[in-house]
Amino acid sequence: MCPQPNESISIELQQLQLDADGRNERTQWLLNSPEPPSFCNELMNSVSETVLPQKNIFFPSNSKQCKAGVFSFLQGLFPILSWGRNYKPNMFKHDLLAGLTLASLCIPQSIGYANLANLEPQYGLYTSVVPPLIYAVMGSSRELAIGPVAVVSLLLSAMVTEIVDPAVDPIAYTSLVFTVTFFAGTFQAAFGLLRLGFLVDFLSHAAIVGFMGGAAIIIGLQQLKSLIGISHFTNKTDVVSVLRAVFRSFHDEALSPMNFILGCSFLIFILATRFIGKRNKKLFWLPAIAPLLSVIVATLMVYLTKADQHGVKIVKHFKGGLNPSSVHQLQFNGPHLGQVAKIGLICGLVALTEAIAVGRSFASMKGYHLDGNKEMVAMGFMNIVGSLTSCYTATGSFSRTAVNFSAGCETVVSNIVMAITVFISLELLTKLLYYTPLAILASVILSALPGLIDINEAYHIWKVDKMDFIVCIGAFFGVLFVSVEIGLLIAVGISFARIILDTIRASTEVQGRLPGTLDTFCDITQYPRATSTSGILIIRINSGSLCFANATSIRERVMKLVTHTNGNEENTKENVHLAVLDMSNVMSVDTSGIVMLEELHRELVSQSIQLTIANPRLRVINKMKTAKCFDKLGKGWIFLTIGDAVDACLSLKIADLSSTNC
C-alpha cells in the first residue's frame, strides 16, 4: 500500500468529474434548446420584416406607440416618407439634370422596345410614366432607372405571340400583354411579402450571362426587319428562323436601301458618341442624348424629303395623351389563362433578376444596402398598377441606370423628372413622331446591345467553374437556336441538376486536432499536420441537409471510413471504439435521415463502436427529440462540440485505467 499514488488518483478523478459535470451541463443546454418558430410565425415575421422596419408594432402599449407603429409601417412600405424628410433643394438640381438626361435616352428606347414587343409605340412611353412614379414612392434604390427593357420586350414578343398573332388580332394581343404584366406584378409582390427572394437566385449569374448574350443576338437579328425595311417577318425568335426570313425577304420583297443606309448612319453616330463619352467622362451627356438627337434629325429628314413615299418605313400610328385605363382589357376568364400566368411568372422572375442585380451593383458603389424583398414588393405593385394603366412589364434598365448614375442623381426624384418629361412628350410631341423611321428605332436598340454580351465574364466563368460554364452555354444556345423560354428552362434545369447531384453526393471528411490547439479540429486532407486521436474517428458531414436523397450515401461513407481505418495495415493505433459525427453543417433533417442515424448506431454498436453526435443545429435537435432519437442513441452521447466528445471518451479511458490501478 502506498498512499501517495492513491491520493493523486483521487485528485485526478475529482478533476475528471468536474470536467464531466461541465460537459453534461453543456449537453443539457443543447438538449433543452427552445423549439424553432412555427410556419405561421415565420410567415408573419417574413411579412413584418418586409414592410415594418421596427418590431413590436402589432401590439402597441399606448396611443403614442400606436402612431409610431403606423408611421413605421408606412415608412417600410413607402421609403419616400423616410428619405423625403431629409431632401434638400441643392439635391434637386442634380436630380433634375439626371432626370432630363434620362428622359432623352428613355424616349427613343421606349418607342423601340415597344416595337420589339410588337406593341404600338405609345405603350413604350406609357411604361416610362406610371411605373417610374410608383417605384419612386415604394422603391429603395436611388439610382435605378425604371421603364421597358429589351430582354423583357423580347420575352413578351416571343411567348405571347404563340397564343395570339399581333398581326392578325392586335387588340387581343395587347390585352394579353397587360394581363401578363398583371400576373408578373402579382408574383413579384408575393415573392417580396413572403420573402421568397431565393427563387430569383435559381437564375444564377452564369445563367443570366448566357441568357443575356443569346437574347442580345436574337434582339439584334430581330432589328434586321426594321433596319432593312422588311414588311413580312417571322414570329419565331430562333436564329435559324430569323435568318431564313431575312434571306427570303430579299427574293420576295422590293426592299429600299434607304432604310439600311439611314439606320446604319445613325447607328455609327450613336456608337461614336458612346466612344467619346467613355474617353471623356465630362461628356457623359453626349451618348445619353445621341439617341434622341438621332430620332429628331431622322424624323425631320424623312418629313422634309418625303422619304416615306420612297420606301422608308415610318412609325405612322402614334396616340398621345395621358395613359388610358386598361382595366377592361385584362382577361381572367379566357382559355389561355394558365399560359398567360406562366408567361407572367417567367417575365416577373427575369425582370426581378435584372433589376435587383443592377440596383445592388450601383448601391454598392454608393455604399448602402438594397433590400431585395422590399424591391420585389415595389416592382410588384409598380407592374400591377402599370397593367391597369396601359403599361407592359417594366423593370430596371442597366444602360439607363448607368446614365442616371453618371449624371449625378441623388435620389429617385430623377425617375419622377423623367416620367414628367415623357408625359409632356406624350401630350405635345407625338404628332411630330409620326414620321420617325423604324430604321432609327432599330439603330437605337442595336446600340444598347453590346452591353448585354459579356465575353470576358463568360471566359472568367469558364476558368473558375466548368459546371457554371455549362449552365451559361446551355442558356446561350437554348435561346439562340430554340426559344427564349427553352433557353431559360435549360439553364434552370442544369442548375437544379447540379443542386440535386451536390445533395446526393454529400461528402464526408475525417477530422483531426491541429497541433498546438485544444479545441480546433479540421480536415486532415486539407491540413496534413492535423492529428487523429487514438481509437476515435471524427467525421464531418458536408451537407446542409440530411435527407432521403443522401442518407444512404452518407451511412455507406461513414461505414467505409470506419472499416478502412480499422483495416488499414499502416494503422499502428488501436481500433476505432468511438465515432464522432460532426453535424455542425447540417441545417435540417427528415425522417429518412433520422432512421439512417438509428441504423448507423445499431451497425456501429454491433462492432463495439459507440456513435456520438456533436453540435447538432436547432431544427435538427427539434426533429430528433420529436422522433425520440436521442433515447435510442443515448443522451449521454450528444455533445455541444467535438472537443467535448473527444474529452468524454478520453476521460472514460483515464477513469478505467485509474480504477484498474487502484
User: What secondary structure does DSSP assign to 383-396, as a single string?
Assistant: HHHHHTTT----EE
Same domain? 493 vs 629: no
Contact yes or no for 207/222 (Cβ under 8 A): no
Same domain? 587 vs 633: yes
What is the band of 58 on the pLDDT scale with cuts at 50, 70, 90?
very low
Neighbours of 515 (CB within 10 A): 10
119 within domain boundaries: yes
Same domain? 186 vs 302: yes
For the chain, give the number of residues.
662
44 within domain boundaries: no
Alpha carbon distance, N-terminus to C-terminus of the chain: 10
The number of folded domains in the chain is: 2
Mean pLDDT over 148-167 rounds to 91
Cβ contacts of 521 within 8 Å, gap of 6 or more: 511, 512, 513, 514, 530, 538, 582, 642, 643
73 within domain boundaries: no
Cα(611)–Cα(605) distance, integer angstroms:
8
Same domain? 439 vs 553: no
Domain residues for 525? 506-661
Q: Which of 473, 499, 525 is the last residue of a domain?
A: 499
pLDDT at 514 over 60: yes
Q: Which SS3 state, helix, strand or coil, does residue 521 take?
A: strand
81 within domain boundaries: no
pLDDT at 1 over 50: no
Dihedral sign (CA 312, 317, 320, 326): negative
Q: Which of 499, 524, 545 is the last residue of a domain?
A: 499
* pLDDT score of 316: 81
Alpha helices, DSSP H only, in 32-161?
39-51, 63-77, 80-83, 89-116, 121-126, 130-138, 150-160
Same domain? 476 vs 529: no
Q: Higher-confidence residue: 323 or 186?
A: 186
Question: Grid coordinates representing 614?
Answer: 456533436
**In terms of Cα–Cα distance, which of 205, 118, 211, 157 is closest to 480?**
211
Determine the residue type at 619: R
Same domain? 495 vs 511: no
CATH value at residue 640: 3.30.750.24
Q: Which residues pair with 545 in a beta bridge?
A: 588
Same domain? 466 vs 564: no
Q: Looking at 66-70, 115-119, 213-217, 424-428, which range is the least confident one? A: 66-70
**In terms of Cα–Cα distance, which of 635, 624, 629 is closest to 602?**
629
67 within domain boundaries: no
pLDDT more than 70, % of the chain: 88
Same domain? 529 vs 464: no
Same domain? 544 vs 411: no
Same domain? 269 vs 386: yes
Determine the residue type at 201: D
Mean pLDDT over 561-589 rounds to 81
Q: Which of 476, 499, 522 is the last residue of a domain?
A: 499
50 within domain boundaries: no
Same domain? 524 vs 429: no
417 within domain boundaries: yes
pLDDT in tens, 228-269: 888 778 877 788 888 888 888 887 776 778 899 999 999 999
What is the band of 657 on the pLDDT scale with cuts at 50, 70, 90?
very low
| pTM of the model as a whole | 0.75
Same domain? 510 vs 382: no
